[in-house]
Structure formats: structure tokens, C-alpha cells
Amino acid sequence: MILYDDTPLAQFLKKDELEKTKAEAQNALEILKSRDGAGNEFLGWLDLPFQKKVDLQAIQSVADEIRQGDNLLVCIGIGGSYLGARAVIEAIYGNRHSIRFAGHHLSPLGLKELLDELENRDFYVNVISKSGTTTEPGIAFRILKEYTEQRYGDDTQKRIITTTDANRGALLSLAKKEGYRRFVIPDDVGGRFSVLTAVGLLPILSAGIALDDILAGAIAGMNQSLENCHKNMALRYAANRIALYRSGKKIEILANFEPRLHSLTEWWKQLYGESEGKNAQGLFPAAVDLTTDLHSMGQWIQDAERSIFETFLTIGRYEHDFILKAADDDADQLNYLAGKSLSYVNQKAYEGTREAHLDGAVPSSSFSLEKLDARHIFELMMIYEVGIALSGYMAGVNPFDQPGVEAYKNNMFRLLGKPGFSS
Ligand code: PA5
């Protein structure tokens, strides 16, 4: 179960303002469901939990093959082509898993570190790019393809799997030429909404997460988010954040109290930033890992310009916990915590932080996951996906395009001397 507590917002938002944005969110939900709104050619993600367009068996079968033996899977992709998988895998396994990510930066050091690790391991490569032409994953793949060929020779074809558009792009041409196995990213699903296609599912299933749990969570999250009722968390969340934006808040901070949710907040940043930040408007999506960042960003959040609001992410129950014991000499003066669990201390840290920030005029609401598992993560992801679609429609923007992402690429291509990009 996921709970959304927005009661603290009552002291910051006027009732009639909130009623107004709730009515707007309901209207946005009807537009989304009727598939008549802006960007409606990219609404395929609404169907993904119910799996009408993805060959799950084929993805599971390749994942099973990768899981046989002691293989690493190197996933090459950037933005929507890697953040969803990384968010889910790290939420469930932390840093202890068999998936490596590449092609999301241009650092020689990062790539060298990966190649060093591959020296002693067997591996598969999954190169993921919807457009099939993105520079960062393209360069990483060129280097990893050569490395794979040196290592596996004639077996290379089996070791490289591509995930790309069905009909377009340089990666598709290369995959056809080399005879690599191919998965398709549906035309009507944008990168940041693609976690339930092969983009996210091949890495996630290869890491060992069960498909049934994924789908159970996604179906629960999507069904409740499309329901026109006052309990709908996606709708309430969208109404609240737009009301806060209109009241003068400029930055939304997604604050987790579980380090394993760090990459989920990175996924959320792309989802919200690319969907909403256009036409000279939109909340800036920021994130902090707590309690860690209370010792670096706490001062700013408590006391700086009051342009922020917070959305907390907490975990209700942990499968593993530590009970603190009393020490004979109490030299560290922590005996007052004897008998308490670490998760209890974390919960009190959250409650104390929320109270302090409310006193410091930082409005907040919170999503609380009953436990940290695939079911709850996918339920939350669907709530967030619908939440940003509604927010975008309420703000009058197309939440499904990202024209601004092209600007840096054109400059980079000109500076690199790419044909057709003259100075
Ligand atoms: O949201 C988006 O569409 C972008 O951020 C893309 O995910 C990112 O640029 C990667 O694109 P591609 O999958 O085409 O390589």
C-alpha cells in the first residue's frame, strides 16, 4: 500500500485555491483518458501495465539466458533509456546487482573503469536508444562493440542485444547489418515513460526482479491513478503541486529517507523536468537524500529563500533492521536508544525534519511506501507518470515532448565538426 499525506499543505494553501486546482486536475484526467490532449500520439505508456504492446515472453527469455552463468549485463543508454531501469534495480538491490550502466556520460574514466571490470567477467551488452542516434550511448557502444568482438569473436552476435525504434535510426541499421537480437520501443511511448517496455524490462528482469511483482504494482498504480475519485493520489499530487507553483513556489524537492531511492529521484527529475519545464514555466525538480543531505543542504532548505516545497518519500517497514543495544559504559551516550530499531530512528528523523521545515515555512506532503519492493516501486512510478501528465495539462504545456533537449546537441555537433552542422 502507498499512502499520500498532504494534510500539512492546508496551512499554506487557501481552500478555494486548492478546490480550483483539484477541479482542473479532474478535467486534465478526463483529457488524458479521452486521449484528446496535446501529445496524444505519445500515450502508449497508459496501456503498458496491461501489456498490449510488448512481447514479455521474449524479454523474459533473454533475461533468463543472461541470468544463467555469472554474466554482467552492460546497459548502454542515457536519459529515458536508462534511468527507469537504474531506479528500480538500485531500489531493490542497492549496489549489489549484475547490471552496469554506460553511455550516460562522456567520461573516459567511467568507461575505463567498466572495461577493467569486464576483463574478469563474462558479459552481455544491451544498447538502448529510441532515436538510435544519440551521441553518448553511440560512442560507448562503438567502444564496447569493439571490446566485445575482441573477447567473444564469432559469439559477439549472441552477446549484443539492441533496443530501439522499429523502423528508424542508425542503431537499427547496425543491428540489422550485424544480426543482433532486437527489441522494439513502441512509437507511442516516449523515453521517460518507457520503463515498462524492453527499455526498462530487459535490465530489470535480468537483475532478477519478478515480472509478476512488476505488473501487479504497475496495474495497481495505473488503475488508481486513472480513477476519478477524491482518493486518487496522482490527481491530488498534481493539484497540490500546481497550487503551490501558482502560490509562488518555484522548486519541488523530492526528499527520500532511504538512500536506495536515490536513482528513483533521478528518474523522477527527468520525468518532471522534461515534461513540465517549457514555455518559460514549470517547477524545477530537485532531490535530496536524507538524512545525508540534511548535513549539507539542511541549512538552505530550513532558512533560505522560501521558493521551495518538499515531497517526502518514506518506507514503512524494513525486512532487515538493527535493534540498538545498551552499552555498559554508554561512552557514546546512545543508551537512551537501547531497544529501538534503526528504522524507528529514521522515522523520527523524518518526522522531526518535516516539523522543522514546516516551521521554516516549507510546505510538504509525503508518499509512504508500505515496504521497499518492486510492487510498491512500480505502483509509485505509475502515480508519478500520471501525476506529471495531469500537471502538464494543467499548466497548458505538452507534457510529452522535449524540444529543449536538442539545443546543446546542435552546438556540440557544430563544435565537433559533424557534417551538416557548420559554424
Ligand atoms: O526523454 C527523452 O526522450 C530523452 O531524455 C531521451 O530519453 C534521451 O535523450 C535518450 O534518447 P534516445 O533513447 O533516443 O537515445
- pLDDT tens across 37-88, in order? 999 999 999 999 997 778 999 999 999 999 998 999 999 999 999 999 999 9
- Report which protein residue has its CA nearest ligand 1's atom 2: 191
Residue-wise pLDDT for 263-316, tens only, equals 999 999 999 999 999 999 999 999 999 999 999 999 999 999 999 999 999 999
3-class DSSP assignment, residue 163:
strand
| 190 pocket-lining for ligand 1 (C-beta < 6 Å) | yes
Please state the three-class secondary structure of 188-236 as a single string.
Answer: CCCHHHCCCCHHHHHHHHHCCCCHHHHHHHHHHHHHHHCCCCCCCHHHH
Cell of 169: 535510426
CA 253 – CA 262 distance, rounded (Å): 13
| 273 pocket-lining for ligand 1 (C-beta < 6 Å) | no
| CA 30 to ligand 1 centroid distance, Å | 28
| 134 pocket-lining for ligand 1 (C-beta < 6 Å) | yes
CA 253 – CA 172 distance, rounded (Å): 38
Q: What are phi and psi of 311, to 5 degrees?
A: -120, 115
| CA 78 to ligand 1 centroid distance, Å | 6
| Position in ligand 1 atom list of the atom nearest CA 136 | 15
| CA 80 to ligand 1 centroid distance, Å | 5
Q: Is 274 a catalytic residue?
A: yes
| Position in ligand 1 atom list of the atom nearest CA 83 | 7
- Report which protein residue has its CA nearest ligand 1's atom 3: 191
Catalytic residue among 20, 33, 97, 409: 409
- Residue-level pLDDT at 106: 96
| 131 pocket-lining for ligand 1 (C-beta < 6 Å) | yes
Mutational test site, ligand 1, from 45, 75, 78, max ligand atoms within 8 Å of CB: 78
| CA 79 to ligand 1 centroid distance, Å | 5
| Position in ligand 1 atom list of the atom nearest CA 169 | 14
Closest to 239 (Cα-Cα) out of 31, 386, 43: 386
| Position in ligand 1 atom list of the atom nearest CA 137 | 15
Q: What separation in angstroms does the CA of 67 have from each of 97, 122, 210, 333?
A: 11, 11, 13, 47
| Position in ligand 1 atom list of the atom nearest CA 185 | 13
| CA 105 to ligand 1 centroid distance, Å | 13
CA 349 – CA 354 distance, rounded (Å): 9
> Which run of H or of E encompasses 384?
helix 374-395
| 78 pocket-lining for ligand 1 (C-beta < 6 Å) | yes
Q: Is 409 a catalytic residue?
A: yes
Sign of the CA dihedral with 30 first, then 35, 40, and 44 last: positive
| Position in ligand 1 atom list of the atom nearest CA 131 | 14
pTM given for the model: 0.97
- Residue-level pLDDT at 54: 83
| 79 pocket-lining for ligand 1 (C-beta < 6 Å) | yes
CA 58 – CA 39 distance, rounded (Å): 29
Residue 197: CB atoms within 10 Å? 26
- Residue-level pLDDT at 40: 97
| 81 pocket-lining for ligand 1 (C-beta < 6 Å) | yes
- Residue-level pLDDT at 152: 98
Cis (ω within 30 of 0) for the bond into 291? yes
Q: Would you write out the chain's pLDDT as a tens digit for each of its 423 residues?
A: 999 999 999 999 999 999 999 999 999 999 999 999 999 999 999 999 997 778 999 999 999 999 998 999 999 999 999 999 999 999 999 999 999 999 999 999 999 999 999 999 999 999 999 988 899 999 999 999 999 999 999 999 999 999 999 999 999 999 999 999 999 999 999 999 999 999 999 999 999 999 999 999 999 999 999 998 889 999 999 999 999 999 999 999 999 999 999 999 999 999 999 999 999 999 999 999 999 999 999 999 999 999 999 999 999 999 999 999 999 999 999 999 999 999 999 999 999 999 999 999 999 999 999 999 999 999 999 999 999 999 999 999 999 998 888 888 888 889 999 888 876
Catalytic residue among 252, 274, 276, 385: 274
Catalytic residue among 15, 177, 230, 295: 295
